[in-house]
Structure 1
């Protein structure tokens, strides 16, 4: 008996599953360049750290707490804005650090303005947790040398602030204030160096990038787009 040959069944019909065609040629990823928000973030750290440091060193008087709180409160808004744009630039390290700085300034401002009972001890716990967080971030931020240097000074500064808040030892307050001024100086340098680099399109003041951070600035467009399909916002899930 002769039977007519039939073409082999398609895989979709055999399995009941539908396979999409290869969409890579049809896929387009649009990127919106933005100016670097990091100079603003570092300047904000410098200004807030200077004001708090002057308070801890006793240069502003004993009744300046509320004025200091009101003065550093805008740092919350500015660094939250920096964090928002840093997330948009796919820099999770900088965005997370700026957001945590933002929350720390807000908590400090509220405690100083309201003079909340046991506020100093609560700030001590907050500063201790921020110290641990900054230490963890510093362990992975070395290629981003400007950010790493700020973290290296922020760790002892917030550790001293935590100890001062928890013990009320005047000497620790002096140490915290001095480290706060040092943190302000390092952050100011980083902000100025990054701003000059952004304006002139090349490194003017040494920052010391290495590894991926160096290639991100010095590499060509192909380096910038490498593994882009795995970036948050492009891949299907975080």
Structure 2
């Protein structure tokens, strides 16, 4: 039994045939280096500087200097976010881009000291803590990212309460959690760099499911359902 190929539409017949373009379609992917070690390292460095200010290691008179030191984190994490979007990792891209905006806002408030700026920063930290909690709820299979988020939620929640209430002990708690966040992010960055340099997982990252398949699977796994991904499909 043979099947006739669809004929071209004739003028005025009211019918329209679309050719099958799948055999003529080519999808080109551009490999890039993983931006996540840079993103996690930036979180760690900025968290240490801000944490030292909250813990009193740096005097409050140095707040403007801290703002200038933290400001470059805005640029670096924005770069990481853009590269992560190009790598089709929406979770990492969204998180790093939001971190970028957070560092920019925090730096401007610390440096300019506008009226009511501390309380506004408290609202921002509270919203970011909620956002991080929502992100953690969907990032469970990417353990490195999930672990950073799990530490980020109480850190920014404590910072929000410290900004809104003015309680000194909450500021100290936020600073301590900031140092813990820095340690967690630095571990993730170092583990990812070792994995990239040696081609195998050296320090455990705990990937599961699609996150594990993305690293351990073959090319067929990487290209599975690619026609349905953002940047390939017609609409977002």
Distance in structure 1 (CA, Å) of the matches to 2:128 and 2:59: 27
TM-score of the two chains, using structure 2 as the length reference: 0.95
Which residue number corresponds to residue 5 of structure 1?
Answer: none
Mapped to 1, the partners of 2:179 and 2:15 lie a distance apart of: 64
Which of residues 96, 101, 104 in structure 2 aligns to 1:103?
101
Structure 2 Cα separation of the partners of residues 51 and 193 of structure 1: 22
Q: Which residue of 2 aligns with 1:171?
A: 169
- Candidates 16, 38, 41, aligned match of 2:39: 41
Q: Which runs of 5+ in 1 are unaligned?
A: 1-9
Structure 1 residue 75 displacement after superposition? 0.2
Correspondences of 1:12-161 after superposition (within 5 Å): 12-13=9-10, 16-161=14-159
TM-score normalised per structure 1: 0.94
Separation of aligned partners in 1, 2:14 and 2:133: 53
Deviation, structure 1 residue 16: 2.2
CA RMSD after TM alignment: 1.3
Distance 1:17 1:237 in 2: 26
What are the ranges of 5 or more consecutive residues in structure 2 without an aligned counterpart?
A: 1-6
What CA distance in whole angstroms lies between the structure 2 residues aligned with 1:128 and 1:224? 37
Deviations 1:85-116 (A, max 9, x none): 00000000000000000000000000001011
Computing the radius of gyration over CA atoms, which structure comes out larger, 1 or 2?
A: 1
- Secondary structure in 1 aligned to 2:60? coil
